[in-house]
Homo-oligomer: A and B are copies of this chain.
């Protein structure tokens, strides 16, 4: 590792890095306080079981020694780690940062530690991640999971699992209302005189991609529009050129992309090729990510409550892991969050 020190006042002094000092343990606290370890333990976790003044004393000593219970040891003893894992297909996709944020917040409120895993858009990697982390966490929130149903079932035998934007028999999940959302999109296009549109599909394994297409097609039928599906495309701006060029071979007057990132890539390519949006072609995305409001032209898109989805999923997981929880009846597995079409400048009247 080549190291260069420049212009960094007070920083590079080549000091040796000291090994971390040993932490105080329950035993050292017990010794210092002159009580048994069990008393220290109870002073923390079972206040009623120990004399008021003893407790004060123990707590004071613990404070002085900077003691806090070792979570690893607690986990080993109790079998609960108070940690949940959030798995996303691609952490750099801005869509997921909303989910992450919501999950973070809910986890903090439930006093849970959150681990984030990146499945790299790969079911195999995702499954490996779940297996590797399985024993170290109390449960998983799998976002837009690409794992096949059987794999999910198998995983759910060993771990508690909550899904986001994915459903699978018997598993709790939080999903966006794509049925209503896609209807809003198609109604918007139809009202502007469009007669046909192209859907640029995302990854083949994407459950929400399938729901989106199913919803769009059903709504298209209702409104008498023609819908065609292209793809699959990787949902990155890099796929924009291929997707846009494919659309330009058709007579479609509107295009609905699997998500905003892809839609933005399409917008960039269309600009390059001199196709005017929305005059010649309307473009609609999904997700309303950071950037959808300031790309050019600003993108019409279906907004989901991603932050809420992340939060609800973690809450559901927390409820599932709480000691005597067995969800039945009202506490049933699927929660649907509303979606909302945000109309911006990338969509408009069909060309005549």
List the interface of chain A (C-beta within 8 A of B). 1-8, 10-18, 20-21, 23, 68, 70-73, 75-76, 81, 83, 91-92, 94, 97-98, 100-101, 104, 113-118, 131-136, 156-160, 167-173, 175, 177, 179, 237, 264, 267-268, 290-291, 294-296, 312, 315-316, 320, 326-336
Contacts and interface: CB of A to CB of B under 8 A. Distances in A.
A118 B91 contact: no
A296 B294 CA distance: 7
Number of copies: 2
Which among A13, A83, A332 has the greatest number of chain B C-beta atoms within 10 A? A332
What are the 9 A-B residue pairs with the smallest beta carbon separation, nearest first? A11-B167, A291-B291, A15-B170, A116-B116, A7-B179, A12-B334, A92-B97, A71-B136, A14-B332
Contact of A331 (B1, B159, B327): B1
B13 A333 contact: yes
A320 B3 contact: no
Contact of A76 (B14, B76, B113, B157): B76
A320 B17 contact: yes
Given A175-B8, A296-B294, A331-B1, A15 B169 contact: yes
A165 to B, nearest CB: 12
